[in-house]
Each structure stands twice: as structure tokens, then as C-alpha cells.
Amino acid sequence: MVPGTAREDGTLAEQLSARIAAGEFRPGRRLSEAELAERFSVSRNTLREAFRVLAEQGLLEHVPHRGVSVTAPRVADVLDIYRVRRHLEAGVLARADPRHPATVQVRAAVEAAEAAAAAGDWVGVGTANTAFHAALVSLADSPRLTRTYRQLGAELRLAFLVIGDPQTLHGAFVGRNRSVLETFVTAGGPAAARELEDYLTESERTVLGAYARLGLG
Amino acid sequence: MVPGTAREDGTLAEQLSARIAAGEFRPGRRLSEAELAERFSVSRNTLREAFRVLAEQGLLEHVPHRGVSVTAPRVADVLDIYRVRRHLEAGVLARADPRHPATVQVRAAVEAAEAAAAAGDWVGVGTANTAFHAALVSLADSPRLTRTYRQLGAELRLAFLVIGDPQTLHGAFVGRNRSVLETFVTAGGPAAARELEDYLTESERTVLGAYARLGLG
DNA sequence: ATGGCCTGGATTGTTGAACAACGTGTTTCT
DNA sequence: AGAAACACGTTGTTCAACAATCCAGGCCAT
């Protein structure tokens, strides 16, 4: 074990990913190999391996001979992300059984979002929101769907970071999380799926509106 | 194509990926860094970057300090792959419009499969089959769904390579490709989607049967 | 000024060698 | 036989160097 690097655990790619999600590196920011290698106390080669991983996950954009930068989703990306979200989440939910074990995780995410909202922690609400949707997808018991959705959520989080203002982005959806959950357990998957599609369409509108307001249309 | 040191284009990761798909490196085979770096005339560091990319795509399995090997899908993976396939393909097809431009590519893939089958080129049938399903997904006009599906197809191809015997695997489905296409253009997406689900379930049975016969249950 | 061309500096791409860290198979000892 | 110690090979990581490429700024001609 090399001294000095024991402060944080997880792979280098995970550390980078966490810092990006935390907003330490904003979307669009270019990441210099030399600078980051210095900052993380790793060699350029090791850092480049982590870059390849995150680029493949869509968190970083890699342009040959021009370096990597944090992905800044465009409007077209937002549209595509929500298209896939509707497809995946609604499809999974429609076929899901409310008695599935993962339902407890859905409920936990709903309650975490409510608690964070009550405390005014809007970033926490965003995190819990992401967990809510991820939990919905996990109802399908498919490692690959879960994994795909996690990446999608990470990309969407980048769009949120482009916008800022987590209260407007997430605040309005805490109640809808709860509502979808209750519909699911009382009225079943298909009804919940229909409600979720409206939910997602409204969320999409919120994001697109903010993009337009920022002049990114 | 002449094997050997033929100058190929594309990134190193793409070259590796092509060779894996071609069966040059069989599933389960361990890939030594030193050996492959030598074979591709690149340095270990460069090769390792390509490894990270392909591992992230699911083509290679990376175990820390133990190296990478070509992914050999297990039964659980086959089940998951087909679950996602049904989810994605059927969902896309059900919502698709037969007049969509990508329909011509679906038709082209159907005809390519028929031509290859007539010529007894079963590997070619497999390739055309993969193209058929990829074309179906492209009806959704979603870059992310298309990309996800391409990776899924690559993983499935690994399962086919585990089995061998492309004739049994692909031969029976040439006619069903045609049938799904005709149903789609004459009866619409939902009807075609139902037919496709049966198709995929039968395909899954074929693969699982072969796995069982190989003692990989 | 404007546009194109050139050049210098900075960054990425790649290499080779070296060593540390770890896993594995073998040997040795009890 | 079983466990512990060892030796070996591989991966993980670093470093320094160089090649390839991009970019900004200056220069020149129009």
C-alpha cells in the first residue's frame, strides 16, 4: 500500500465519478491529464485508464488529441434520456408485482426524499429521487437493465448540474414519487406506469424549460 | 481476409472487439497483457486502455490482479440478455411506425439473412440476424437505446461463440425474421411485437438447450 | 482591417523500462 | 495430509521521454 492514497477508497474511476456527481467538476469543464494526475496523486497513465472507463459510461467526453471534458448534455441528449427513461421505467413498472422485495427500497427512497425536502436539503432530494427511479427499475430483477439505468441516471444528473437550482428541479416531484408508489401498491403496475409516464413528461418539460431559459435551446 | 499482421484501421479497442467477434479469441480465454501487446505491436499501457473500454462494454471481464478474459456468458447472463431483448425490442416495435425510414434497413437485414442461408453461410446468417434486431431497435430513433442494444448483441454473440454450431442457432430464424417484418408492415407494430416475443422466447430456448447439452447448466 | 499562413508552445498519444503489489503453484516442514 | 513459507509470473503503477496533434498568436499580403 502506497502511503498518501489511503484517504479515500474505491477505484479511481469511482472517485472521479463521485466528484463529478458532487459538482466539483462542472459539465463542460475540460480535465487536464497533468493537472488531475497531480491532484489525485496518480500517474497520467493510471488516470487515462479511469478516463476511458468514465468516457464509456458517458460521464466524460473524449475527443482524440483534444482531451476529455465532463459531458454537458445538450437538448437532444435530454430528449433521448427521457425517451429511454419512459421506455424503461414504464415498461418495467407495468409488468412488476407490488409484492416484489424491491418495493421496500422504492418506499425507502420515497421517504428519504420526503425527509430531505422537509429539511430543505434539495440536493438530497435529487439524490433520493434518483434512487427512487433506480429502485423502480430494479423491480425487473435484471442486472443489465439496472446497470443501464444507473448510467442513464448519471447522465441526467449532469443535465441537472448544467441547470443548477435543485429546488425547482426536484421539489415538485417528491409528492409524485409517493403518489406513484401508492398507485402501484393499491392499483397495480399498469396504472402506476401510466401515472409515471405523465410524471416523466412533466419532469422533462421542467428540464427543457430550464435549458431554454439558459439559452441552450 | 488474410490473418496476420494486416494493417487494419480503427481504434485498438475496435480491432480487439472485431477479433473477439470473429472468434479469434474464444470466450473464457485469458488475455495476457504482455502477449497481446506484443501481438498488436503496442505498449502494455496502450493495451490496458483498450481493455478498460471493452471491459466496460461487457466484452471482457476484468478481475483486479488477475487480468482480463473474454467474457463467457453464463446461463444467468443468457436469461438476462433475453429478458432485456424482449423488453427493448418488443417495446420499440410495438410503438413503431412501419413507414419509418429504418424499415428499409430491417428489410435489407432480412434479405441478407436469406441470401446467406441460401449460400449455406451460417456465420453470415448470424451476422445478418444481429443486424435485423439492431435495425428493429433503431426504429425508436434513440441513440442510447441503439447503443445499449449493440452492446447486448455483442454479449449475445459471445454466448453463440460458446456454443458454436451456427446453423442450429441461426438457421431456424431466417424465416421468422421475414415473418415479423411482413406482420409489421401489414398488421402494424403491436401485432409484430407479439410475434417477436414468441420468436425471442424460442431463440432463448435454443440457446439454453445448447448450454444444457454442453453441461453449462 | 481581413483573411490566410506559419510557427512556437502546450497537450495528448504512446513507448519502454522499472519496480511494487498481488495471486498462484510448489516446496518444505511438522 | 495439512499448513506455512517461498519463488515465480502477472498485473498495477510510476516515470521520463518522445512523437503527433491542436491551438493561439504573430506575420504577411491583399
**Strand, coil or helix: B62:** strand
pLDDT for the residue numbered B111: 97
Q: Which of B 106-145 lie inside 8 A of A, CB atoms?
A: 140, 142-145
pLDDT for the residue numbered B8: 54
Question: Which nucleotide is nearest to A36 if distance is taken from CA to C1'?
Answer: C11
Q: Which helix (H) or strand (E) holds A162?
A: helix A143-163
pLDDT for the residue numbered B10: 79
pTM: 0.92
A144 to chain B nearest CA, in Å?
7
A180 to chain B nearest CA, in Å?
21
Q: CA B54, CA B10: separation in Å to the nearest integer?
A: 14
pLDDT for the residue numbered A8: 56
Asked whether residue B7, judged by its CB, lies under 7 Å from any atom of the DNA or RNA strand D, the reply is no
pLDDT for the residue numbered B9: 61
Q: Whats the size of chain A, residue-wise?
A: 217
Largest separation between any pair of C-alpha atoms in chain A = 56
What pLDDT band is residue B216 in, cutting at 50, 70 and 90? confident
Q: Average of pLDDT values for B150-155?
A: 96
Asked whether residue B32, judged by its CB, lies under 7 Å from any atom of the DNA or RNA strand D, the reply is yes
Q: Are strands A67-70 and A30-31 parallel, antiparallel or unpaired?
A: antiparallel
CB A105 within 8 A of CB A138: yes
Q: Do A53 and B56 touch (CB under 8 A)?
A: yes
Q: CA A200, CA A203: separation in Å to the nearest integer?
A: 5
> At A3, phi and psi to the nearest 5?
-65, 145
pLDDT for the residue numbered B5: 37
B83's grid cell? 429478458
Q: Whats the size of chain B, residue-wise?
A: 217
Angle between helices B44-57 and A44-57 (to 10 degrees): 20
Pick from B48, B57, B152: CB nearest A49: B48
Q: Do A87 and B145 touch (CB under 8 A)?
A: yes
CB B25 within 8 A of CB B19: yes
Interface A-B: count of C-beta contacts within 8 A: 55
Asked whether residue A32, judged by its CB, lies under 7 Å from any atom of the DNA or RNA strand D, the reply is no
A81 to chain B nearest CA, in Å?
8
* Residue B9 CA, nucleotide C5 C1', distance (Å): 32
Cα three-residue angle A75-A79-A85, rounded to 5 degrees: 140
Mutate to test the interface with B, among A89, A92, A148 (most CBs of B within 10 A): A148
Q: Which of B 57-96 lie inside 8 A of A, CB atoms?
A: 57, 80-81, 83-84, 87-88, 91-92
- Does B76 score more than 60 pLDDT? yes
pLDDT for the residue numbered A1: 35
Q: CA A173, CA A157: separation in Å to the nearest integer?
A: 15
For the CA atoms of B28, B34, B37, B42, what is the dihedral angle to 10 degrees?
Answer: 150
CB-based contact, A147 to chain B, within 8 Å: no
pLDDT for the residue numbered B51: 98
* Residue A59 CA, nucleotide D21 C1', distance (Å): 24
Q: For the segment B172-201, what is each residue's pLDDT rounded down to a tens digit?
A: 999 999 999 999 999 999 999 999 999 999
Q: Whole-angstrom distance between the N-terminal and C-terminal Cα of chain B?
A: 36
Contacts of B49 (CB under 8 A, 6+ apart): A48, A49, A52, B12, B13
**B56 chain-A contacts, CB cut-off 8 A:** 52-53, 56-57
Cα three-residue angle B142-B148-B149, rounded to 5 degrees: 90
Q: How many CA atoms lie within 13 A of B114 on its CB side?
A: 11
Residue nearest D21 (alpha carbon to C1'): A65
Q: What is the pLDDT along chain A (217 residues), one digit of tens a residue?
A: 333 333 456 799 999 999 999 999 999 999 999 999 999 999 999 999 999 999 999 999 999 999 999 999 999 999 999 999 999 999 999 999 999 999 999 999 999 999 999 999 999 999 999 999 999 999 999 999 999 999 999 999 999 999 999 999 998 999 999 999 999 999 999 999 999 999 999 999 999 999 999 988 7
**For B32, left (φ over 0), alpha (ψ -120 to 50), or beta?**
beta
Asked whether residue B43, judged by its CB, lies under 7 Å from any atom of the DNA or RNA strand C, the reply is yes
Asked whether residue B29, judged by its CB, lies under 7 Å from any atom of the DNA or RNA strand D, the reply is no
As beta bridge partners, residue A131 has none
**Strand, coil or helix: A102:** coil
* Residue A159 CA, nucleotide C3 C1', distance (Å): 39
Q: Which of A45, A46, A67, A65 is nearest to A55 (CA)?
A: A67
* Residue B5 CA, nucleotide C18 C1', distance (Å): 29
Pick from A53, A83, A144: CB nearest B52: A53
Q: For the segment A34-64, what is each residue's pLDDT rounded down to a tens digit?
A: 999 999 999 999 999 999 999 999 999 999 9
- Cα dihedral across residues A77, A78, A81, A86: positive or negative: negative
Strand spans (E) along chain B: 30-31, 60-63, 67-70
What pLDDT band is residue B217 in, cutting at 50, 70 and 90? confident
Asked whether residue A66, judged by its CB, lies under 7 Å from any atom of the DNA or RNA strand D, the reply is yes
